[in-house]
Amino acid sequence: MADAKFLNIAPGVSVPRSELEYRASRSSGPGGQHVNTTSTRIELLWNVEESRVLSDEQRARLRTRLASRVDSVGTLRIVASARRSQQQNKQAADERLAALVRHALHVPKRRRPTKRPKAANERRLSEKKRRGQIKRARNADED
């Protein structure tokens, strides 16, 4: 079972739960009287700028990759209101935060340009010449 004091994001990155702030409010939408009486909507806030678990490189990467989701103070906000229970919405918000940050921290492999082998180029040119000869021979037969 996962450690209750940390939220595992990616290998080497675990956010202490003390850095996460949960807010509960009433959810909107259908649901009858249940919706009007219970605070099941969860808002998860995490301040990326003040987090102690991120390196400067990771923080900069999150700032650029999640620019549209991080506010001017550096707070990342996740909202979950799909489920009927507060606990399920809390879990959904945790999973969504983990997936979002994991995706943003992923560093793609640098593409190394490759050269076509000389033999492959020669094969391609000789094949082109051969096809040209076949077509010329076809033309000569028609005359």
Closest CA to 48 of 15, 18, 74: 74
Cα–Cα distance measured from residue 71 to residue 91, given in angstroms and rounded to the nearest whole number: 23
CA distances from 141 to 48, 127, 133, 134, 137 (A): 76, 21, 12, 11, 6
Sorting pLDDT into bands at 50, 70 and 90, what band is 33?
low
What confidence tens digit (pLDDT) does each residue in 61-98 have?
A: 998 999 999 898 989 999 998 888 889 999 999 999 99
* Architecture per CATH, 6-105: 2-Layer Sandwich (3.30)
What confidence tens digit (pLDDT) does each residue in 40-54 have?
A: 889 999 999 988 888
Cβ-based neighbour number of residue 24 at 10 Å? 14
pTM: 0.70
